[in-house]
Structure 1
Amino acid sequence: MNRLESSFGRVLATVAASTLVAMLAYSGPLGNAVTLNTALRAGPASATWILASMSVGLAAALVTAGVVADRIGHRRVFLAGAAVFVAANLACAVIATAPLFVAARIVAGIGAAGMIATGLGLVAAVSEHDGHRARTAVWWSSSMGAGIALGPILTGALDLVEAWRVFYLVLAAAGAALWVSARRIPAQPPHNPDRAQSVLGFVLLTAALSAAVAALVEVRARDAGLAIALAVAAVVLTAALVASQRYGSARLVDSVLFRRRRFLSATVAGLGTGIGIISAMSYSGTFVVHGLGLSTLQAGGLLAVWAGTSAVAALGFSRLAGVVSGRVHLVGGLAGVALGLLLMSGMSDGAPPARLIPGFVVAGIASGLLNTGLAREAIASVPAGDAAMGSGVNNTARYVGSALGITIAGVLAAGAPDAIAGWNRIALAAAVASLVCAAGAGLLTLRAGAPAIGPGTPTAPSPASSQPRRG
């Protein structure tokens, strides 16, 4: 094994493990939401925030973490994120009230954002070889699926022995191990050390995303007054952000990237992933417990059918990663997810839980294809120096879409006569959203060889043309 291959393998192992741990943290409460609500004495609004809190932290911090990482170094931001993740989960393990638990989960999301936004950048800094890039996409997407599958199962199993707090101790220990592993990765020079940082832009972006996601959560919590106030604040903050980027001397993100069709296509697909399959699966645990009478462990096992199939499917698609275009991954994945969601709809009174399994399997296979494409396109659609930023934008779209989708799911469920009717509406709405985003992602890359909108936009290096680079 040559030096490049050895270094790449070590970095990929750390990045894949960090994705697995972050998704464990994200999905764990989906499996024991009822237990958490009881233990923390959470009311309806707090219960909503417990499920959405980590999404808020992720959505608010991913872009900023990616941009800062490209400026000061990916490893430094990864280490900082891992340290924050450890501290936040230790807090979750001892906190006894819902508001403090929600705050700790938001901070955990910020820490996870530091790891997720920089992971693909760490690998890209070691090698841009086309084979390595394809392998990275496969293992990243497989780790994501495995983490989402295992989280609810682990929390459901711990519920059997009334040890839900142990889950957060496990996460803290895993985060510490990742910090140690990342310390052994050779430091690479920053890609853009001389790029001026827009401190005001960072503050406004974080505040705007936080307010927007919080407004969505409060809509689901049925606090109309607070939701409107947060939405107005988000609009004002967004306007201020646009003005700062238009007239200020420093930029958060090079505006030319948003004229790249390939970059926009990946961003739309990320949004579709969140608003479609992730939001539906986030609600599925509550549905099967209250609507079908399953235990939290059984609900986690059923959810694992989708997420586990996704992880295995991503490995199976590894042979296609180098020959199938990003467009096929994204559009085909979203369309397949829509088909799976349609198969999950149409539930009737007395239907067994097994009625959902065919849809879970189809959606899982499609999710494996979709996640593999997202991992590849997030870094292949931007210059090498902006890899972490590209990953940050893509994942931000995913978690903003998730927050929006979960809000829509909550509204649809609340307006339905029973849990089964609510689930049918949610599955159908998520399928429609997936198809709309599939159409959008496809249209953006309809013209072959046209990655940008408008003249003079530089093209991103394609995976096939990338050459190995020494780490």
Structure 2
Amino acid sequence: MSRDEARTASRALFVVCAATLLVLLNYTAPVAVLPQTAASLGAGLTTQTWLINAITLGLAATLLVAGSLGDDFGRRRVFWVGLALLAVSTAAAAVAPDAGTFIAARVVQGVAGAAILAAGLGLLGHAYRTNHGRAHATARWASMLGAGIAIGPLASAGLASIGSWRWFYVILAALAAVLAVTGGRLLAESRAARVARIDVPGVLTLGTGLALVLVAVTAGRTGWVRPATLVPLVLGALLLAVFVAVEARGRAPMLDLALFRRPDFRVATLGALFTGLAALGPSTVLPTLAQRLIGVSALGAAGLAFVWAGASFVVSDQMRRLGTRVAPHRQLALGFALTAVGYLAMLGYADAHSWLRTIPGLLISGAGSGLLNAALARLAVATVPADRVAMGSGANNTARYVGAALGVAASITAASSLLPAGQSGGFSAHGADAVLLLGAVLALAGMGIALARRNERATT
């Protein structure tokens, strides 16, 4: 790599990491201040699920679309549009008068985040071409996921304690606007060497299908046989089936289904799905449970999130030095194993009314998350053709955030189950343990997928 190429790559790494940090700060902002936000907006228990999950809906429904558009029409262009949209939608969240407006703004924030994550990782895949360079860049990018999750709840809780939860969104909107104005000048444009086409049927069927499925899953906590759950679930499943058929026959598909014949791509996608289910889902709900069941303050809950995400940040960042020495499948297996061990170590914390009981488990599971993030970022760009790196990022992150949405919904359902006789609504200590057990089982399933691929490689 020449000096000019190295300078261009370093600028891309800085801008993409800064934008990724903003996305994750925004993603986790409501976690520690959910009770205050819900009270201010008049949101009930079911609506509170949407206060958290709305951004995941926007992310999951548009990540693959954003990656495909970036490859075809310019990754820098899609990245910049994402930053501009993040600034506008975050400002809207700051002034939202009611829960409906806030949820709509969070969905748009998810769309903006999808453009930033998919195109950003695609920009890094284009800027860094060697295995060592990509391991360094993707590990640094993955560390921003942990840093954002660590700082977001603390920042929102701190600002809420001295003023209002809305201040966080005002500041974040300003930062996104500044980065949109200045950051785009530091990036070099890149796109695939093919005729650009918009896969309109694919965009419509995938985006709408995923949105309907996630709506159904979120509504499922109030009953799975209700029309409000069954109708969007069935329609969403049908649209996703149509998407597969469209992509299989399309001349320029948004997702090349032939990639699923590659074992490494399958493992990367399934690993991302189970990372969302096992790592992101339960950990997103835990701060709220700590507030409701133990009486931890908003800042205290943010501190717990910081312990988990801080461990994730440190481990991901270190993998830029060790990443090429450890096979990504082994990283995935170890990451899932640590996640399961960490959850099991926290069992009984709510019943004991002790937040201290969570610290060892948070450190262990956070370290596991760091390994998962670094391995998945590396696999996302290494398992697809060089001219489709943004599409690979979009597919990987789509699986991750679909898993996260499912994991959050399943965790809230588990937390509100096993209520004492005569109690309705809310959460229970036994439900908190059910969340941890669910996460551990899902993590072990993810470990099994990673180990199966490693064994397959060993025998071929």
TM-score range, shorter chain: over 0.9
Answering whether residue 84 of structure 2 is matched by residue 75 of structure 1, we say no
Partner residue in 2 for 1:201: 202
Q: Measure, in 2, the Cα distance between the counterparts of 1:119 and 1:445.
A: 29
C-alpha change, 1:189 and 1:270, in structure 2 (3 Å) is closer
Answering whether residue 158 of structure 2 is matched by residue 149 of structure 1, we say no
- Pairwise mapping of residues 42-441 of structure 1 onto structure 2 (< 5 A)? 42-194=43-195, 196-222=197-223, 224-347=226-349, 349-417=351-419, 419-441=428-450
Q: How far did residue 222 of structure 1 move?
A: 4.6
Partner residue in 2 for 1:16: 17
Counting matched residue pairs gives: 451
Partner residue in 2 for 1:464: none
Secondary structure at 2:255 match in 1: coil
Q: Measure, in 2, the Cα distance between the counterparts of 1:445 and 1:75.
A: 35
The question of whether the paired residues in 2 share the 8 Å contact of 1:49 and 1:217 is answered with: yes
Residue type of the alignment partner of 2:43:
A
Q: Measure, in 2, the Cα distance between the counterparts of 1:189 and 1:19.
A: 19
- After the TM superposition, which of the residue ranges 362-371 and 237-246 deviates more from structure 2? 237-246
Q: Measure, in 1, the Cα distance between the counterparts of 2:59 and 2:223.
A: 23
Secondary structure at 2:323 match in 1: coil
Question: Normalising to structure 1: TM-score of the pair?
Answer: 0.92
Q: Measure, in 2, the Cα distance between the counterparts of 1:93 and 1:198.
A: 34
RMSD over aligned CA atoms reads 1.7
Residue type of the alignment partner of 2:146:
G
Partner residue in 1 for 2:423: none
Q: How far did residue 447 of structure 1 move?
A: 2.5
Q: Percent identity?
A: 35
Q: How far did residue 449 of structure 1 move?
A: 7.9
The question of whether the paired residues in 1 share the 8 Å contact of 2:136 and 2:321 is answered with: no
Q: How far did residue 238 of structure 1 move?
A: 1.5
Residue type of the alignment partner of 1:283:
V
Secondary structure at 1:329 match in 2: helix
Q: Which runs of 5 or more structure 1 residues have no equivalent in the other structure? A: 452-471
Partner residue in 2 for 1:454: none
Secondary structure at 2:455 match in 1: coil
The question of whether the paired residues in 1 share the 8 Å contact of 2:247 and 2:257 is answered with: no
- After the TM superposition, which of the residue ranges 340-349 and 404-413 deviates more from structure 2? 340-349
Q: How far did residue 368 of structure 1 move?
A: 1.3
Q: Measure, in 2, the Cα distance between the counterparts of 1:221 and 1:103.
A: 21
Secondary structure at 2:379 match in 1: helix
Q: Measure, in 2, the Cα distance between the counterparts of 1:393 and 1:303.
A: 27
Q: Measure, in 1, the Cα distance between the counterparts of 2:345 and 2:200.
A: 47
C-alpha change, 1:357 and 1:33, in structure 2 (3 Å) is same
Q: Measure, in 1, the Cα distance between the counterparts of 2:147 and 2:222.
A: 30
Secondary structure at 1:447 match in 2: helix
Deviation per CA, 1:88-107, whole angstroms, max 9, x where unpaired?
01111111110111001000
Q: How far did residue 332 of structure 1 move?
A: 1.2
Deviation per CA, 1:177-221, whole angstroms, max 9, x where unpaired?
221243213433411431543211111111011111111111135
Q: Measure, in 1, the Cα distance between the counterparts of 2:190 and 2:12.
A: 16
Q: Measure, in 1, the Cα distance between the counterparts of 2:389 and 2:444.
A: 28
Q: Which runs of 5 or more structure 2 residues have no equivalent in the other structure? A: 420-426
Deviation per CA, 1:202-259, whole angstroms, max 9, x where unpaired?
1111101111111111113558321111101102212222232234444221121111
The question of whether the paired residues in 1 share the 8 Å contact of 2:293 and 2:350 is answered with: no
Q: Measure, in 2, the Cα distance between the counterparts of 1:134 and 1:378.
A: 11
Q: How far did residue 348 of structure 1 move?
A: 5.7
Q: Measure, in 2, the Cα distance between the counterparts of 1:450 and 1:189.
A: 38
The question of whether the paired residues in 1 share the 8 Å contact of 2:11 and 2:187 is answered with: no
Residue type of the alignment partner of 1:217:
T
Residue type of the alignment partner of 1:428:
L
Secondary structure at 2:265 match in 1: helix
Residue type of the alignment partner of 1:270:
A
The question of whether the paired residues in 1 share the 8 Å contact of 2:346 and 2:361 is answered with: yes
Question: Normalising to structure 2: TM-score of the pair?
Answer: 0.94
Partner residue in 2 for 1:469: none
